[in-house]
A and B are shown apart, each in its own frame.
Chain A
Amino acid sequence: MNRKLFIATSISSALAACSPIGTALNNNEGFHSFLGKAQGLNHALIGTRGMAREYRDADVDRNFRTNGLPTPSDSSYQEMVARGFAPYRLVIDGAVERRRAYSLAQLRGMQQTTQITRHDCVEGWSAIGKWSGVPLRDILADVRPRADAKYAVFYCMDKDDQNTPYYESLDLHEASHPQTLLALRLNDAPLDPDHGAPVRLRVPTQLGYKSAKWVNRIEFVGSFGTIYSGHGGYWEDQGYEWYAGI
């Protein structure tokens, strides 16, 4: 019986040691980055293929959940809101043949598409919205990324409490996906400030943090290694995967 007690104690101790040992390993930089290797496999095997499910009008969440960084509160954003986003420009630059600065009216004048898709947050919850706007691939066709362009980096107007701005990036394959959208409208109304007005990204094939709000510049680059902390996005710089399809 003592032997059984010994084994039972050993098993419970092994279970109880799981979390502290895991935490210690987690704080080891080499081990931490080794764990990140799974991302390459997931990106290669899953990637961005197929189409996100499209829903019916009846499925839409009318009060679409907001999450993440707070709505920009600086005076220039407030002024833009007050003036119906007349001063807003979406700047496209970097490795493109034709740099552009679209006004909101110009974006609204382009061919619009609508999708009713599910927004899947990395936290686990999901909400369904009806999004309308310009397919990002139409912008790509207009500005024509050069051969050295590998990624589109999306700069945003929101900042965290440390004044670190939000940003995101997609590779050109993901950026050209037919459902990757520069959304101007949510649920049959122009985007409101809390949902990323006037322009947000919508990437229904990946987790929600890819769908950056308050986008005002898209830069085409060969590598994002020198941008902010170099991981290709605000949450990526804090340890989240750049490939967010899983």
Chain B
Amino acid sequence: MGQKIYRYAVATRLSHWVWVLAFGVLVSSGLQIFNAAPYLDASDKSNPARRVLSIDSPADGVGTTTIFGRTFTTTGWLGFTDDGMGGRSPRAFPGWITIPAYQDLADGRRWHLFFAWVASVCWLAWLISSAIKGNLRDMVLRPADLPKLWPMQAYYLKLRAEPPPHGLYNPLQKAAYTLVGFVIAPLVVITGLALSPGIDAIAQPLTWLLGGRQFARLWHFTSMLLLLGFFAVHTFQVLTQGVFNQMNAMISGWYRLGEHDGVGP
């Protein structure tokens, strides 16, 4: 049994679980909002000629998904799905994945705009707290970590017996946390704001830089997919790298070091 270290500060643990909740709500309510106009255009105003994604129900009982002009039949999953009221109807994302389950744009927006605040305020509070305590140093990727990225990946691929020496987090973890915490998460907030007419009026260059309102909507959706991708990999890692130790650490703060873990700060 390895040595136990205090790995996660209260602010980190609390914000981690607030984000789990907020992210779940934001994705489900976001898909509810998407359902009101189930297509994404790489343009400022709506333009079917620049349509990247479209989820349709071309005939009763049929759902299709068109990506970059290629159409796939997705009945039951996308396009013609669970309507959240015990039946199936033309609906892009199914009711079991949206909040509320039935089609309701107004309430989807209500959840989304509330939890956008929860997630953003939580991010800011975590950032300030971590900066003050100095925890950020352990997790932000630095130039010195770059040469260690491949050796770490090689270790995961079992091409190397030992991970490169590292601190509390390994270089790949640092890269992932830095990318998610300081690039993708801010991007999802900025792109969400940019598709609002009130923000566009205040910060015209922002919406313009993203390619316009429909493009901002496309970026918003894409950055959500990237966060979902991180969530999937993150969950897989937790499940395969000593799930009870990891879960316990994110609840109590105490983590039992494994033989290949770094020795801490």
Contact = CB atoms under 8 A, between A and B. Distances in A.
B249 to A, nearest CB: 14
Contacts, number: 154
A110 to B, nearest CB: 25
Q: How large is the interface on B (under 10, 10 to 19, 20 to 34, 35 or more residues)?
A: 35 or more
A234 to B, nearest CB: 12
Contact of A240 (B44, B109, B200): B109
Contacts of B84: 19, 23
A86 to B, nearest CB: 35
Contact of A38 (B113, B217, B235): B113
B209 to A, nearest CB: 12
B55 interface: no
A121 to B, nearest CB: 7
Contact of A35 (B95, B111, B214, B244): B111
A20 B28 CA distance: 11
B46 interface: yes
Interface residues of A, number: 56
B87 interface: no
Contacts of B95: 19
B110 interface: yes
A238 B106 contact: yes
Nearest to A11: B235
A246 B28 contact: no
Interface of A: 3-4, 7-8, 11, 14-16, 18-20, 22-23, 26-27, 32, 35-39, 41-42, 46-53, 59, 61, 65, 118, 120-128, 204-207, 235, 238-241, 244-246
Given A16-B96, A18-B24, 8 more contacts: A19-B95, A19-B96, A23-B101, A35-B114, A37-B114, A38-B116, A126-B45, A239-B107
8 contacts: A14-B24, A18-B24, A19-B84, A19-B100, A46-B202, A52-B201, A53-B204, A205-B201
